[in-house]
Amino acid sequence: MEQPAAPAVPHDPAEIRLTITSPEQMRELGRRLAKLLRSGDLVMLSGELGAGKTTLTRGLGEGLDVRGAVTSPTFVIARVHPSLGDGPPLVHVDAYRLSGGLDEMEDLDLDVSLSDSVIVVEWGEGKVEELTEDRLQVVIHRAVGDTTDEVRQVTVTGRGERWASADLGTLAA
pLDDT in tens, the chain (173 residues): 444 444 444 445 689 999 999 999 999 999 999 999 999 999 999 999 889 999 999 999 999 999 988 887 666 677 889 999 999 999 998 877 666 655 656 565 554 577 899 999 988 787 777 778 899 999 999 877 666 778 999 999 999 999 998 899 999 86
| Contact present, 72 and 94 (Cβ < 8 Å) | yes
SS3 state of residue 57:
helix
Cα distances from 16 to residues 45, 64, 70, 87, 144, in angstroms, run: 15, 21, 25, 25, 23
Report the pLDDT value the prediction gives residue 27, as an integer from 0 to 100: 97
Q: How many other C-beta atoms are found inside a 10 Å radius of the C-beta of residue 109?
A: 6
pLDDT at 105: 60
For residue 118, the cross-strand partners are 90
Write the DSSP string, 102-151.
Answer: HHHHHHT--SS-GGGSEEEEET-TTTSGGG-S-EEEEEEEE--SS-----
How far is 131 from 169, CA to CA, in rounded Å?
A: 26
**Global pTM exceeds 0.75:** yes
Sign for the CA dihedral angle at 68, 113, 135, 168 comes to negative
Q: What is the SS3 assignment for 33?
A: helix
